[in-house]
Amino acid sequence: FGGANDWTPGLDALAAGGLAFTNFCANGLTTEDGIIALVAGEEPIVPASGPRRGWLECFSGFMGAGRALPRLLDPAGYLCCWLTTGPIRFSCKHQFLDTAGFDLLSDGSDPFYRDGEGGRPWPQAMFGPPDRALYRRALSMVAGPGPGPGFARRPLLLVLETTSSHLPLCNPDGPPHDEASVMR
């Protein structure tokens, strides 16, 4: 419905135009919980007063979820791709995403990120290139021949995991390193 801080002008403009997402859920106290909710359609919420899973057990019990979104789209011929500029091996995320049925897992080590704007290297945030590099990667897959060699042109499910706004706040464009600058 828009924000009070004017940190997301694009989303605020959509809200001002009457667009509202009234049935959108991404529950979780951690990134991993949100990923489970979005990909597996499961509710991984652990009460704030309850014990948290360790980072190596974040996806325990959710590997190979039968109703995972990529698995549901596979019969319709979708190519399902997970894109992030952050490290995909952190907290066993790659194993969860692989068992969920993603065809392509791409992170900051993807050759696409070697050259940034104007042939210069991408600036680095806390977890790799900034979100705009991730968006360019996604747009290149939609507009171009596809995600790369060995992948036929098919309908795409692109899931983008942004990292620029993750704590600790590190604006890839330089100071100030505060919430408002990172969100913009």
pLDDT for the residue 144: 73
Local mean pLDDT, 10-residue blocks, the chain (184 residues): 68 84 65 85 62 67 87 94 90 91 93 84 82 90 70 84 81 80 76
Q: What is the sign, positive or negative, of the torsion defined by CA atoms of 129, 135, 139, 145?
A: positive
Contact yes or no for 141/147 (Cβ under 8 A): yes
CA angle 112, 156, 32 (to 5 degrees): 75
Cα–Cα dist 152/143, whole Å: 14
CA angle 3, 7, 13 (to 5 degrees): 60
pLDDT for the residue 49: 52
Cα–Cα dist 113/92, whole Å: 22
**DSSP structure class, residue 55:** T
Amino acid sitting at position 135: Y
Cα–Cα dist 113/122, whole Å: 7
Instruction: Indicate whether this model's pTM tops 0.85.
Output: no
pLDDT for the residue 160: 94
